[in-house]
Amino acid sequence: MYQKRRELLAASLPENALLFVLSGKAPYSVGDEQYPFSVDRHFYYLTGLDRENMMYVLVKKKGKAQHMLVIERYDEAMAKWVGGRILPEKARQISGIEQIVMEDEKWQRIHFLMQYVLDALPSVPVYLDLKKQEVDQKRESHLFLEELMKKYPNIQIHDASSYLTKLRLVKDEFEVNQLKKAISVTNKAIQNMMSHVKPEMGENELEAYFDFVLKCHNCKHSFPSIVGSGKNGTILHYGDNNQVMKDNTLVLCDLGASYEYYNADITRTFPVNGKFSERQKQIYSIVLEANEYIMSLVKPGETLRGLNMKLIEFYEKKLDEIGLLNNGKTVSDYYWHGVSHMLGLETHDVSLSDYKLEEGNVFTIEPGLYLEDEEIGIRIEDNVLVTKDGCINLSKDIIKSVEDIEAFMADRNE
Ligand SMILES: [Mn+2]
């Protein structure tokens, strides 16, 4: 599988190329602590490995590709403290890359590859992921590039990110299955929340019912959970989750399980006491209809921006019907974010500008409506897979109709 991805990448690169993808390094924190390490997702996608200080190298020349992996030398003294670095055999077995080079022999090998690609060329085309430069592992690519330029001033530098992004946008069968697992755990965890929620409970306590299920399934969080009741549900990135949930309010839960780096991103909104009020039901029904309407429009060729425009048109009509657009109010007073983003190894997964949907994309559909004055915040978010003429809702098993939610919550007391 990883081999297939590397072959696809090699095929998409121009003739004569030397590409480097780094796994990254945890930034220093304080004392002898490090920030938690999170592997570079391009690296993981191409190798299945998730350790620090590794590098994948691809050489393409005369239509032929060679692959190489640089890893740290195993050190027994170090292993006693932090556990073993990965052994060459294990790295080879997971990634399927035959050629493994030790970190301390890396420059010798790179020098050889430079000469090999250079042969008859004025300079060596070097490809690196240079898209982001932040306080995260992406910086490693830039540091490596600086080192490379010192040693080889005559290279041509190219950004490899669009080549990698194009591949990652279309999910293979394995990836779809990983996402399904993450979504299934998220479903169980949301059910656990719905089973236990009640008035006067803290948002943090409700959040703990989600966390417990994730931990039991060896999952992590895709992102910090949002558990916002009443007015807190109208704050887009509310994350305090520390208020007491009042009777007759709704609680908006935007959260997801991450399974082996594949991220679910789901939002469900439900009544704290198990029953929607008439007004809550009215607003909720519009958001649910919006969710299903946008889902029905998905097909190859559409864009996420286009879907969002359709949603705004839909809201213009619906909100006008119930009198919310009087006194100069517009849709943007009640809805101001995008309806979708790509999903995968990152929660806001890689994409290209004005990208037209293709079969195999996975993305979110998450319309919301936020009525601050009425303390009603509602969002309903699903994760869908684009097919050749529509889409499949990967999170269809996570209940969302008023009837299903009320029935589920009524049942729990019996
Ligand atoms: Mn989302």
Which one of 147, 168, 189 terminates a domain?
168
Identify whether residues 130 and 235 lie together within a single domain: no
pTM: 0.93
Identify whether residues 200 and 83 lie together within a single domain: no
Cα gap 169→115, rounded to integer Å: 34
Q: Which of 47, 59, 58 is nearest to 23 (CA)?
A: 47
Identify whether residues 335 and 362 lie together within a single domain: yes
Which one of 117, 136, 168 terminates a domain?
168
Question: How far, rounded to the nearest angstrom, does the alpha carbon of residue 284 sit from its chain's CA centroid?
Answer: 26
Identify whether residues 152 and 218 lie together within a single domain: no
Identify whether residues 83 and 183 lie together within a single domain: no
User: What is the distance in A from the centroid of ligand 1 to the CA of 266?
Assistant: 7
Q: Is 157 helix (H, G, I), strand (E, B) or coil?
A: strand
Mean of the per-residue pLDDT values of the chain: 93
Mean pLDDT is lowest, of 212-216, 237-241, 267-271, for 237-241
User: What is the distance in A from the centroid of ligand 1 to the CA of 254?
Assistant: 8
Identify whether residues 259 and 367 lie together within a single domain: yes
User: What is the distance in A from the centroid of ligand 1 to the CA of 275?
Assistant: 26
Identify whether residues 198 and 179 lie together within a single domain: yes
Average pLDDT over residues 161-177: 96
pLDDT tens digit string along 284-298? 999 999 999 999 999
Q: Is 145 helix (H, G, I), strand (E, B) or coil?
A: helix
Please spell the DSSP secondary structure of 232-271, one letter per residue.
Answer: GGGSTT-----SBPPTT-EEEEEE-EEETTEE--EEEEEE
CATH number of the domain within which 315 lies: 3.90.230.10
CATH number of the domain within which 59 lies: 3.40.350.10
Mean pLDDT is lowest, of 137-151, 323-337, 345-359, for 137-151
pLDDT tens digit string along 137-153? 457 888 899 999 999 98
User: What is the distance in A from the centroid of ligand 1 to the CA of 10?
Assistant: 32
Mean pLDDT is lowest, of 46-60, 110-124, 253-267, 375-389, for 110-124
What is the model's pLDDT at position 302?
Answer: 97
Identify whether residues 101 and 199 lie together within a single domain: no
List the helix and strand counts (H, then E) for the chain.
Answer: 12, 17
Identify whether residues 120 and 181 lie together within a single domain: no
Identify whether residues 70 and 187 lie together within a single domain: no
Which one of 148, 168, 188 terminates a domain?
168
- Report whether 103 contacts 53 (CB < 8 A): yes
Give me the domain span that covers residue 368.
170-411
Identify whether residues 198 and 53 lie together within a single domain: no
What is the model's pLDDT at position 369?
Answer: 98
Instruction: Give, as residue ranges, everything with CB less than 5 Å from ion ligand 1.
Output: 265, 364
User: What is the distance in A from the centroid of ligand 1 to the CA of 67?
Assistant: 35
Looking at the structure of the chain, the number of domains it has is 2
Q: Which helix (H) or strand (E) segment is 285 a member of? A: helix 278-297
Identify whether residues 140 and 180 lie together within a single domain: no
What is the model's pLDDT at position 83?
Answer: 63
Q: In what order do the strands lie in the sheet with 382-386?
A: 362-365, 382-386, 391-393
